[in-house]
Amino acid sequence: MTLDDVLHPPTEPLRSGRLRVSPLHELYWETCGNPQGIPAVFLHGGPGAGISPTSRRFFDASRYHVALFDQRGAGRSTPLGETRENDLPSLIADIERLRELLGFERWLVFGGSWGSTLALAYAQAHPERCLGLVLRGIWLVSQEELHWWLYGMRNNFPREWEAFAGHVMPAERGDLLAAYCRRMESDDPALNLPAARAWSRYEGSCIALRPDPVNGDNFEQDAVALGIGRLESHYFKHQAFLRPNQLLDEMARIRHLPAFIVHGRYDVICPLRYAYALHDAWPGSVLQVIDDAGHTSYEPGIAQALVQATDRFARSGRFDQ
């Protein structure tokens, strides 16, 4: 089974544009699918990863009207990698601005990895705007999860971690996040760009069950690395602007919404236990664990589960049948 076997056929945007959301930030957005279809919004990961043409293919273009956009500092939004005026409340407000611009009353919220974090936070802020949620690779942004990403992943990817830690001086390795933030918060490209490349390559090298050097190479490209490296370290530093345990504590606000959660059993970026924690706090949710997958939505088993979930919702408005 390949990715093309399970995704919907490629589709082109219906509309695209740019949305000014602050004096500093302008977002790229696009829509695809059927203008009379079920409204949906795609929230990409990272932070900083951006959307791609493949992002559209998780939805049946005959049944859905999908909005996709690059979050602040990511992809084709400008300025790339900008951390000023970039926080969780601002991103939630941006989603609402886009919804209002497009005239969607309510929509299905789809997000993976950091996109799952943002989807949960958005839904808890605006439950009345959500039809349901499709989530992949759950990240709740606890201190345990942050420490695992910075240090624990070396248990599964020791050489990749050594390269990541080796970018900073030995005396700084006790606090890798602070060491990377010092470099990536600099305005000097000679400091911030190599650090962003090292950070992004580390993540890209660890995202799949079967490591592929191409992933690391793609994540190390400047346009990708600046978004991922600078924004991920920024959000890590501020624990994604969330209170401790906020997303689980606020589950009562969205527990009535239908939800589908998919997670790779061997996800090293976002360990599986946090998907179970979310599922346990959301009794009506459906959790599907993919036994032969890691983190990325581009592994066929995860992609197939996501497509089946959006197809099922289009048929019945539910995920449990």
Confidence at residue 249, expressed as pLDDT on a 0 to 100 scale: 98
Confidence at residue 211, expressed as pLDDT on a 0 to 100 scale: 76
How many C-alpha atoms does 151 have within 13 Å on its Cβ side? 9
Confidence at residue 321, expressed as pLDDT on a 0 to 100 scale: 65
Catalytic residues: 113, 267, 295
Decide if 321 is inside a domain. Answer: no
> What is the dihedral sign for C-alpha 44, 45, 50, 53?
negative
Confidence at residue 90, expressed as pLDDT on a 0 to 100 scale: 98
pLDDT along the chain (321 residues), means of 10: 93 98 98 98 96 97 98 97 97 98 98 98 98 98 98 96 97 97 93 94 93 67 89 97 98 97 98 98 96 95 97 93 65
Confidence at residue 223, expressed as pLDDT on a 0 to 100 scale: 81
Give the domain-ending residue among 185, 208, 240: 240
pTM of this structure = 0.96
State the total domains in the chain: 2
150 and 135 in a common domain: no
Confidence at residue 215, expressed as pLDDT on a 0 to 100 scale: 60
Structure tokens at 96: 């609402």
Confidence at residue 320, expressed as pLDDT on a 0 to 100 scale: 83
23 and 133 in a common domain: yes
Confidence at residue 214, expressed as pLDDT on a 0 to 100 scale: 61
- Residue ranges of E strands in the chain: 15-20, 26-33, 38-43, 64-69, 107-112, 130-136, 259-264, 286-290
131 and 166 in a common domain: no
